[in-house]
């Protein structure tokens, strides 16, 4: 059997024949230039031949394709070191070990650099080296595959190793992390819970356990775990950061902001701390302070795309010419990480839109969306099938059969629909009422639907929502009460009603009605072209994967309308549709209509919603702190020449 040419090239290099290895690498780049391993090997041989410019060009290509590959940054460090660029080499080695802590060559070179100037850091690095070198070879092989993002190989190796060492905490933690990467949060939670039981002193597993609990929306339990970690190591910034993040999730925004402030004071150059501190300040309406935090983050790292996008996402911020010049320059660099490029593209789209350079703005929006879609890999047909199943199984007969079931609590007011459709405005209006508390986009309904779906084989039939017919009245009441209980942590004002503003809950109105028959449900609707383009230019933190392609947006909007029409047919009068444009044209009339539907007396404060001081966590936070206005209602018209795919997908 003929060997792989890359294997042959590696053998040539192992024999010391650098020239032959380099020639073979050049041929491989010409035929397999998209393969990260080929680019890495070619960069190594270029450096060993002394051709540092060629090595850097290859590394630029490699880092653009595989920004996660720590070995690429280590090789860049070797190139800078060979050229005598000591500071650049150190920065590259730091990045390499952040991405892959197994790279002992980088760790040892960092030890040599810091041993005189920073003894404390030197000690930490030496401890890391001893830790890595103390792992069994089988475990190192699994970890290496994991850091190279070959998760299939990593899982294969780690399961084989756990057959020999079933209680190894590092191995158990890695297996749980692989489960998390694949979205198998229930498995990951079980593994980490067992790991913590078998290895109570292994704090990294407890940290991961809190993270997985958070991903499963068990924020209160996760915060309890985080508090214990901080108690064990009160000065550990990672533990403090996790606790602050969880405080944000449960609505303790002031406490979280105080924690971030202390963390930033201790680590002023920590970009993630500055960024998240900015998010907390934005939520609290302290915009000048949020801007300062975001600017601090990009000052430390000029290619930190998320910092620029966070400024753009304030909606009211206007970039300076100098900031735009820096963003254009950083986005154009070949070695920039994909995530940073995506954030920069969306920020530049907003910057040029504000400058009324619409063609250039759309160019950046389009580029950022294309890159994000490449990551998200959204499949529109799967969503259409999901909506079809809701229509098929949640019919009038189901609701007639389950009449009178569920938890009778009237507390929740669900505001749902598509993102960027005016739901934050409706939330602010209702949250200005003395009997209603605004919370946030609560994940509890989707978590309930996920539990009802269960774990399925790839080729198995979906069991939800078909299994709603099998649920007894007692079970539906139990589900409704569980929702009331799980959301209680977000309710701090003691009002009789609260708002759940998760947009995607429109996909589960049948479930909501069955388990909470007395809840109010409001559909926030917006004109399709205005809504569609607003979605297209918004970079969402998570979810909403349909939003990164104009055709996908149009298809999703039409599927959404089709599903809402179904709910209106089988549950007539159950959902109140509120058109965003109507709210703008007749604010008081629509406020009275909404309050009547919710069974609430009219209060003038709901009309003067912009005076209400409360934490707002969505991208529209600054817009709802101003009086009602028509800004943005027809922004899409500036981009009309490029919206053909959206119009075609929307059809009539």
DSSP assignment string, 355-395 = TT-HHHHHHHHHHHHHHHHHHH---HHHHHHHHHHHHHHS-
pLDDT at 621: 46
Q: Which residues contact 364 (CB under 8 A, 6 or more apart)?
A: 345, 346, 348, 349, 352
User: What angle do helix axes 528-536 and 550-570 make, rounded to 10 degrees?
Assistant: 130
Per-residue pLDDT band for 457 (boundaries 50, 70, 90) equals: very low
Q: Which of 69-73, 115-119, 572-576 has the lowest mean pLDDT?
A: 115-119
Average pLDDT of the chain? 92
- Could you give the residue ranges of the DSSP H alpha helices within 433-549? 444-453, 473-487, 509-515, 528-536
Where exactly does CATH 1.25.40.10 map onto the chain? 5-133, 164-336
Q: What angle is formed at CA 362 by the lines to CA 358 and CA 364, rounded to 5 degrees?
A: 120
pLDDT at 67: 83
Mean pLDDT of 347-370: 97
Q: How far apart are CA 605 and CA 631, in angstroms?
A: 22
Residues 64 and 76: beta-carbon distance below 8 Å = no
- Collapsing DSSP to helix, strand or coil, 350 comes out as helix
Q: How far apart are CA 279 and CA 294, in angstroms?
A: 9
pLDDT at 456: 46
Residues 522 and 644: beta-carbon distance below 8 Å = no
Radius of gyration of the chain (CA): 27
Q: Does position 558 have pLDDT exceeding 90, yes or no?
A: yes
Total count of residues recorded for the chain: 652
CATH code assigned to 380-454+464-650? 3.40.50.300
Percentage of the chain beyond pLDDT 90 is 79
DSSP run (H or E) holding 287? helix 287-300
Residues 279 and 252: beta-carbon distance below 8 Å = no
Handedness of CA 96, 99, 104, 108 (dihedral sign): positive
Q: Which of 46-50, 335-339, 360-364, 494-498 has the lowest mean pLDDT?
A: 335-339
Per-residue pLDDT band for 374 (boundaries 50, 70, 90) equals: confident
Q: Which CATH architecture has domain 5-133?
A: Alpha Horseshoe (1.25)
Q: Which residues contact 172 (CB under 8 A, 6 or more apart)?
A: 162, 191, 192, 194, 195, 198, 199, 205
Q: How far apart are CA 574 and CA 625, in angstroms?
A: 30
Mean pLDDT of 57-80: 92
Mean pLDDT of 584-603: 96
pLDDT at 75: 96
Give the residue from 270, 197, 196, 263 showing the smallest Cα distance to 234: 263
Q: Does position 618 have pLDDT exceeding 80, yes or no?
A: no
Tell me the two tokens of residue 382.
Answer: 């799967």
Mean pLDDT of 507-534: 97
CA 272 to chain centre: 14
Q: Does position 205 have pLDDT exceeding 60, yes or no?
A: yes
User: pLDDT for 217-240, tens place per residue?
Assistant: 888 899 999 999 999 999 999 999
Q: How far apart are the first and last CA of the chain?
A: 60
User: pLDDT for 271-309, tens place per residue?
Assistant: 999 999 999 999 898 999 999 999 999 999 999 999 999
User: pLDDT for 146-171, tens place per residue?
Assistant: 999 899 999 999 999 999 999 999 99
- Encode 285-304: b = buried (16+ Cβ within 10 Å), e = exposed: eebebbbebbbbbbeeeebb
User: pLDDT for 2-20, tens place per residue?
Assistant: 578 899 999 999 999 999 9
For 157-223, what is the HEC assignment?
HHHHHHHHCCCCHHHHHHHHHHHHHCCCHHHHHHHHHHHHHHCCCCHHHHHHHHHHHHHCCCHHHHH
What residues does 440 pair with on adjacent strands? 500
Q: Which one is the CATH code of 164-336: 2.60.120.380, 3.30.365.10, 1.20.200.10, 1.25.40.10?
A: 1.25.40.10
Q: Does position 546 have pLDDT exceeding 50, yes or no?
A: yes
pLDDT at 2: 52
Percentage of the chain beyond pLDDT 70 is 95
Per-residue pLDDT band for 626 (boundaries 50, 70, 90) equals: low
Q: How far apart are CA 169 and CA 363, in angstroms?
A: 48
**C-alpha separations of 645 from 369, 537, 547 in Å:** 14, 15, 13
Q: How far apart are CA 51 and CA 30, in angstroms?
A: 18
CA quadruple 349, 350, 352, 358: dihedral, nearest 10: 70
Q: Does position 443 have pLDDT exceeding 50, yes or no?
A: yes
For 474-507, what is the HEC assignment?
HHHHHHHHHHHHHHHHHCCCCCCEEEECCHHHHH
Per-residue pLDDT band for 216 (boundaries 50, 70, 90) equals: confident
pLDDT at 524: 97
User: pLDDT for 87-112, tens place per residue?
Assistant: 999 999 999 999 999 999 999 999 99
Q: Does position 619 have pLDDT exceeding 70, yes or no?
A: no
User: pLDDT for 563-581, tens place per residue?
Assistant: 999 999 999 999 999 999 9
pLDDT at 458: 42
Whole-model pTM?
0.78
Q: Which residues contact 255 (CB under 8 A, 6 or more apart)?
A: 244, 247
Q: Does position 49 have pLDDT exceeding 80, yes or no?
A: yes
Q: Which residues contact 209 (CB under 8 A, 6 or more apart)?
A: 189, 192, 193, 195, 196, 225
Mean pLDDT of 623-627: 55
pLDDT at 460: 52
- Collapsing DSSP to helix, strand or coil, 95 comes out as helix
DSSP tag of 578: E
């Amino acid at each position: 059997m003929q060997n792989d040419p890359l294997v042959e090239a590696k053998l040539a290099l192992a024999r010391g024949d650098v020239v032959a290895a380099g020639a073979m690498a050049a041929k491989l780049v010409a035929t397999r230039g998209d393969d990260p391993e080929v680019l890495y090997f070619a960069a190594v041989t270029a450096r060993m031949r002394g051709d540092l410019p060629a090595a850097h060009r290859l590394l630029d290509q490699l880092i653009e394709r595989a920004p996660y590959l720590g070995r690429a940054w280590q090789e860049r460090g070797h190139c800078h070191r060979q050229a005598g660029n000591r500071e650049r080499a150190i920065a590259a080695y730091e990045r390499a070990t952040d991405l892959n802590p197994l790279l002992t060559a980088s760790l040892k070179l960092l030890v040599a650099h810091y041993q005189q100037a920073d003894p404390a850091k030197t000690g930490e690095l030496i401890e890391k080296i001893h830790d890595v070198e103390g792992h069994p070879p089988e475990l190192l092989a699994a970890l290496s595959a994991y850091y190279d993002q070959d998760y299939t190989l990593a899982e294969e190796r780690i399961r084989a190793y756990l057959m020999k060492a079933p209680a190894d905490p590092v191995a158990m933690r890695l297996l749980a992390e692989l489960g998390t990467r694949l979205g198998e949060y229930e498995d990951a939670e079980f593994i980490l819970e067992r790991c913590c039981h078998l290895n109570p002193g292994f704090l990294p597993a407890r940290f991961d356990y809190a993270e997985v609990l958070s991903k499963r929306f068990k924020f209160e339990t996760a915060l309890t775990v985080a508090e214990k970690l901080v108690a064990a190591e009160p000065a550990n910034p990672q533990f403090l950061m996790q606790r602050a993040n969880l405080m944000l999730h449960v609505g303790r925004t002031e406490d979280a902001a105080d924690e971030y402030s202390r963390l930033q004071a201790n680590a002023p150059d920590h970009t993630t701390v500055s960024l998240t501190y900015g998010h907390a300040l934005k939520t609290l309406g302290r915009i000048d302070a949020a801007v300062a935090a975001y600017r601090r983050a990009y000052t430390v790292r000029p290619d930190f795309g998320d910092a620029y996008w966070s400024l753009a996402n304030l909606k009211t911020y206007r970039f300076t010419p100098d900031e735009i010049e820096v963003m254009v320059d950083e986005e154009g660099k070949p070695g920039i990480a994909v995530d940073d490029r995506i954030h920069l593209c969306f920020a530049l789209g907003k910057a040029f839109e504000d400058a009324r350079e619409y063609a250039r703005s759309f160019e950046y929006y389009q580029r950022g969306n294309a890159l994000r879609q490449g990551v998200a890999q959204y499949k529109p047909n799967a969503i259409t099938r999901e909506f079809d199943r809701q229509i098929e199984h949640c019919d009038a007969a189901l609701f007639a059969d389950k009449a009178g079931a569920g938890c009778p609590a009237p507390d929740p007011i669900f505001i749902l629909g598509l993102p960027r459709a005016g739901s934050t405005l409706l939330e602010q209006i209702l949250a200005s009422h003395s009997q209603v508390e605004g919370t946030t986009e609560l994940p509890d309904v989707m978590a309930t639907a996920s539990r009802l779906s269960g774990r399925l084989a790839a080729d198995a039939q979906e069991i939800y929502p078909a299994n709603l017919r099998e649920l007894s009245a007692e079970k539906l009441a139990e589900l409704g009460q569980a929702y009331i209980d799980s959301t209680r942590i977000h309710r701090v004002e003691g009002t009789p009603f609260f708002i759940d503003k998760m947009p995607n809950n429109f996909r589960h109105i049948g479930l909501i009605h069955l388990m909470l028959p007395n809840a109010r449900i409001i559909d926030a609707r917006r004109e399709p072209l205005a809504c569609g383009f607003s979605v297209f230019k918004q970079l969402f933190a998570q979810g909403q994967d349909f939003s990164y392609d104009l055709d996908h947006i149009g298809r999703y909007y039409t599927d959404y309308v089709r599903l809402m029409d179904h709910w209106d047919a089988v549950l007539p009068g159950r959902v109140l549709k509120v058109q965003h444009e109507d709210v703008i044209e007749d604010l008081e009339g629509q406020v009275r209509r909404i309050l009547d539907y919710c069974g609430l007396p009219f209060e003038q404060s709901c009309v003067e919603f912009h005076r209400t001081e409360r934490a707002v966590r969505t991208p529209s936070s600054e817009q709802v702190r101003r009086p009602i206005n028509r800004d943005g209602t027809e922004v899409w018209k500036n981009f009309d020449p490029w919206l053909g795919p959206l119009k075609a997908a929307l059809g009539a």
